[in-house]
Structure 1
Amino acid sequence: MMTQSERQVAIAVVQAALNADVAANVAKITDLVIKAAEQGAQIILPPELFEGPYFCREERDTFFDWARSVENHPTILHFQALAQKLNIVIPISFFERAGQAYYNSLAMVDADGSLLGVYRKSHIPDGPGYEEKFYFRPGNTGFKVWSTAFCQLGVGICWDQWFPECARAMMLMGADLLLYPTAIGTEPLEPDLFTKDPWQRAMIGHAVSNVVPVAAANRIGVEGNQTFYGHSFIANHRGDVVAELGDREEGIILARFNLDQIRRNRASFGFFRDRRPDLYDILTTADGRASV
């Protein structure tokens, strides 16, 4: 039975095609964020590195010029003002320069416009079309869960979404929702390898095994020799996909959740009650082998 004190939250995901025009990209994401807020969204998730094209498709040192410090970052400041105006929470993905280090980072903006902190992507991929190790150091912030105006938010970035340890860590830190801004599409050297289904299944698995809603925001469109396949989605705590965009749709999707009911469901499933941390040392060994 639901009471008036039950915690309710509305989350939206933004999907768009992006190009080399930063101002145009920011304006497009802004318009979609406003539309989502008009529909009642309280937490709005844009895609990974939405200021420009996914430059990690190739290794070019000129792209380091795109990195900015979190301090006085114009895009972050813009969305801080927008968040305060609309009373919404927005995780902002950006290319961060910190001294001589570069990170794939996310700034968490709360509903009053305040910057709650920065998460630096923990898992950095390296392969054809996804040359991120050329640009980014592995994150040094550890996983993050933020206490926002509406709930506790855990956010991983793209490649993080494939790792169950990341999702479980954020749940143990108290997350009510798991969010994943993403840039994923075709594999340049393996055109017959279509990863959309396993990409979604990996995150849906996090939803089921942690009894938590999960949302992912991807981009669409052709960039160089890659096609970003969209299919941004929101799954509920049972792993049911309750909202999804297609492979060419720009727009938003929205879902509403009763967080207190989900918390009760999580407790009743017993996944966290029946954990055996005393058996999990192997998860932290470098080679994944138990000591004899």
Structure 2
Amino acid sequence: MIDAAGAAGVNVLCLQEAWTMPFGFCTREKYPWVEFAEPAEDGPTTRLIQRKARQWNMVIVSPILERDERHGGTVWNTAVVISNNGRFLGKHRKNHIPRVGDFNESTYYMEGNTGHPVFETAFGKIAINICYGRHHPLNWQAFGLNGAEIVFNPSATVGGLSEPMWSIEGRNAAIANNYYVASINRVGTEHFPNKFTSGDGGEAHNDFGHFYGSSYVAGPDASRTPSLSRSRDGLMVCDVNLGLCRQVKDKWGFQMTARYDMYAEFFRKFTDMNYEPQVIRDPSLGDSEEDFNF
């Protein structure tokens, strides 16, 4: 939960990734979990959250498995944003899909198509970088360029896969982009009736490993809170001063030194099929006499 400084009560609540179901839907256990998919705009979870948002005068970010009935029942990994008056404010679909270890989520859905929306709420401008998207620095940056003051990172990630990165990535993003980051992770171990393999030569298993929790909030000035428990459910309430985003931005001036035009030109070239990397090779690395003629 985030409490924007100067406002009464807890203002913004973000739940963990896919909080309405076990996380088995992203690998081999497709059924019955895919049956939990629901419309983002008016599904049962959204209606429940709308009632709670009105009741508590709270903006709520609710990650769900979305069923897009307008496009043939397509499934998406989606975060729904409900305003403090209970209105459906919008949604964001996960931009980057993992294909690593047990997590091959393209079995269910592909990369999102909603861009990098920032939701202007009564308690600040917020965005959602869903789970695996935190491994992509440009994903973080795009939310910042669109004006985010708080970026939530609802996740479901296990110890053997990304725990060494966890405490670093969100904090780095907060520093580089002059906003707050709320890193939120599932906790516990989930077991499934059917064993599955990971394609790594290991024995078939019934679980992904331990979801290590350890949620925390990082600030644009490099500060961060302690983490929640690695092994128990928890709720973090954090006071933030959104004015700090502007203060740090004005102090460091990253937006003035960023050279967006230079990088835009680089990526334009990089995406061309005939791109040649800008590598200057030392002639002495060659293996012919001709390379040594000065």
TM range (shorter): 0.7 to 0.9
Give the equivalent residue in structure 1 for 2:14. Answer: 45
The Cα RMSD (Å) is 2.2
Give the equivalent residue in structure 1 for 2:197. Answer: none
Q: Kindly provide the amino acid, as one letter, of the partner of residue 286 in structure 1.
A: T
TM-score (norm 1): 0.80
1:286 aligns with 2:271: yes
Structure 2 CA distance for aligned equivalents of residues 117 and 124 of structure 1 = 21
* Cα pair 2:81 2:91 within 8 Å, conserved: yes
1:245 aligns with 2:212: no
Give percent identity, aligned residues only.
28
* Cα pair 1:231 1:245 within 8 Å, conserved: yes
What are the equivalent positions in structure 2 for 1:184-199 lying under 5 Å apart? 184-187=157-160, 195-199=162-166
Residues 201, 51 of structure 1: alpha-carbon distance in 2 compared, 3 angstrom cutoff: same
Give the equivalent residue in structure 2 for 1:6. Answer: none
Moved over 4 A (4+): 287-292
State the Cα distance separating 1:60 from its structure 2 match: 3.8
Residues 196, 40 of structure 1: alpha-carbon distance in 2 compared, 3 angstrom cutoff: farther
State the Cα distance separating 1:287 from its structure 2 match: 7.5
Gaps of 5+ in 2: 192-206, 279-294
Gaps of 5+ in 1: 1-8, 12-36, 188-192
Q: Kindly provide the amino acid, as one letter, of the partner of residue 207 in structure 1.
A: A
Give the equivalent residue in structure 2 for 1:231. Answer: 214
Give the equivalent residue in structure 1 for 2:54. Answer: 84
Question: How many residue pairs get matched?
Answer: 252
* Cα pair 2:76 2:108 within 8 Å, conserved: yes
1:123 aligns with 2:129: no
Structure 1 CA distance for aligned equivalents of residues 34 and 229 of structure 2 = 32
Larger Rg computed on CA atoms? 2
Give the equivalent residue in structure 2 for 1:10. Answer: 3
What are the equivalent positions in structure 2 for 1:55-134 lying under 5 Å apart? 55-56=24-25, 58-62=27-31, 63-98=33-68, 99-134=72-107
1:157 aligns with 2:130: yes
State the Cα distance separating 1:244 from its structure 2 match: 1.7
Residue 279 of structure 1: SS of its match in structure 2? helix
State the Cα distance separating 1:173 from its structure 2 match: 0.5
Residue 59 of structure 1: SS of its match in structure 2? coil
Residues 102, 134 of structure 1: alpha-carbon distance in 2 compared, 3 angstrom cutoff: same
Residues 263, 137 of structure 1: alpha-carbon distance in 2 compared, 3 angstrom cutoff: same
Identify which of structures 1 and 2 has the higher relative contact order when contacts are C-alpha pairs closer than 8 Å and 6+ apart: 1
Structure 2 CA distance for aligned equivalents of residues 171 and 181 of structure 1 = 17
Structure 2 CA distance for aligned equivalents of residues 238 and 287 of structure 1 = 38
TM-score (norm 2): 0.80
